[in-house]
């Protein structure tokens, strides 16, 4: 891509130094870029490192964690060199984040109006009245009915879907270049999930934002993301344009995630699962980090961790199977 990326992450390592001298390598050598107007999905199970990646971008990593290596460049500015005060300006102005559970992000003792106007006034010069008017306009933009009344209500008076709309209104209030959404619909009813994802896609287009969507759900990815990065064991194991990656999946972990999705065309009595669990970040196996769960594990997988390699147009994979033509076509596995 010839365009300059909005976000460019290179060789990021975020480690947690645990009490008993264990080091949890939650994010371990992660590199990727997000370009203007695109939706990029970061996919994986809990513990794969995707949320820590997002918190690293926002520089919201608390002790015992710290970013130990790498660069995070946002619109040409290196975030890791910034002082805390400069970073506070970046959060909200340049990058905003929507979390899984809006109840934890909204302050229960302040009205919705208070919380949106405070965000607007913190980042933009405006009078109380101007901020209030902008807040009402934003609530209407994100599809909240009775916006004037909602301004005086408290978070607990709203449904989960409405609270998430409020969070999106707060996030877009300063028209950030990048919106990071960390499992934004996981806590919502299925019927509301699509509405919130559609809303975020609309806001991305309306405000010319880029969207970094963090999810465990490849179904969501297939509908909303232009590109996808699959994370496992603190590393990106497969990356590519969504259609290409879903059509010619090259990593057994991505394949496992796909096989665990319900498929309306295939009648199955039970959905497949990926056997085992994500290894603890302080105790990755030697060699490939997926080797303890992989149905195709070979001797060399136990010796060294594969490098990420290009296997198709902008399609990269971290697995030795590509040397022998990719994942074997063996339905019994
Ligand atoms: Fe499986 Fe080996 Fe590929 Fe790792 S490198 S995913 S263990 S086949």
140 belongs to a structural domain: no
The alpha carbon of 288 and the centre of ligand 1 are apart by a number of angstroms equal to: 6
What range defines the domain where residue 327 resides?
A: 228-333
333 belongs to a structural domain: yes
96 belongs to a structural domain: no
pLDDT band at 3 (very low <50, low <70, confident <90, very high): confident
pLDDT tens by residue, 101-128:
777 788 999 999 999 999 899 888 889 9
134 belongs to a structural domain: no
Of 171, 176, 178, 168, nearest to 9 by C-alpha is: 178
Of 142, 308, 133, 121, nearest to 232 by C-alpha is: 308
For residues 57 and 1, the answer to whether their CB atoms sit within 8 Å is no
pLDDT at residue 6 is higher than 70: yes
The alpha carbon of 240 and the centre of ligand 1 are apart by a number of angstroms equal to: 18
**How far is 182 from 164, CA to CA, in rounded Å?**
12
93 belongs to a structural domain: no
**How far is 11 from 233, CA to CA, in rounded Å?**
15
* Atom of ligand 1 minimally distant from the CA of 301: 2
Question: What percentage of the chain reaches a pLDDT higher than 70?
Answer: 95
Choosing from 237, 256, 278, 290 the residue with most ligand 1 atoms within 8 A of its CB, the one to mutate for a pocket test is 290
How many domains in the chain? 1
The pLDDT value given to residue 154: 95
108 belongs to a structural domain: no
Choosing from 231, 251, 291, 304 the residue with most ligand 1 atoms within 8 A of its CB, the one to mutate for a pocket test is 291
187 belongs to a structural domain: no
* Atom of ligand 1 minimally distant from the CA of 252: 6
The residue nearest atom 6 of ligand 1, judged by CA position, is 319
pLDDT band at 268 (very low <50, low <70, confident <90, very high): low
User: What's the burial of 35, exposed, middle or buried (CB within 10 Å: 0-12/13-18/19+)?
Assistant: middle
221 belongs to a structural domain: no
């Amino acid at each position: 891509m010839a365009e300059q990326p909005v976000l460019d992450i290179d060789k990021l390592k975020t480690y947690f130094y645990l009490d008993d001298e264990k080091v949890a390598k939650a994010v371990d050598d992660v590199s990727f870029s997000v370009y203007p107007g695109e939706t990029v999905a970061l996919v994986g199970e809990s513990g794969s490192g995707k949320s820590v990646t997002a918190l690293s971008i926002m520089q919201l990593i608390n002790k015992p964690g710290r970013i130990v290596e790498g660069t995070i460049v946002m619109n040409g500015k290196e975030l890791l060199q910034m002082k805390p005060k400069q970073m506070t300006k970046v959060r909200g102005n340049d990058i905003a984040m929507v979390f899984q559970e809006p109840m934890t992000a909204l302050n229960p003792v302040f009205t919705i109006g208070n919380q949106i106007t405070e965000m607007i006034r913190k980042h933009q010069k405006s009078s109380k009245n101007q901020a209030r008017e902008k807040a009402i306009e934003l609530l209407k933009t994100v599809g909240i009915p009775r916006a004037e009344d909602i301004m005086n209500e408290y978070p607990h008076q709203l449904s989960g879907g409405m609270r998430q709309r409020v969070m999106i209104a707060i996030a877009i209030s300063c028209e950030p270049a990048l919106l990071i959404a960390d499992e934004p619909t996981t806590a919502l009813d299925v019927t509301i999930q699509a509405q919130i994802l559609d809303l975020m896609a609309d806001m991305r287009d309306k405000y010319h934002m880029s969207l970094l969507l963090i999810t465990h759900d490849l179904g969501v990815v297939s509908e909303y993301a232009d590109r996808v990065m699959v994370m496992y064991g603190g590393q990106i194991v497969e990356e590519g344009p969504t259609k290409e990656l879903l059509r010619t999946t090259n990593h057994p972990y991505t394949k496992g995630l796909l096989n665990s999705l319900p498929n309306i065309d295939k009648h199955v009595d039970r959905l497949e699962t990926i056997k085992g669990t994500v290894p603890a970040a302080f105790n990755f196996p030697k060699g490939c980090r997926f080797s303890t769960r992989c149905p195709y594990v070979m001797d060399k997988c136990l010796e060294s961790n594969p490098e990420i390699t290009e296997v198709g147009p902008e399609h990269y994979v971290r697995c030795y199977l590509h040397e022998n033509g990719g994942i074997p076509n063996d339905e019994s596995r």
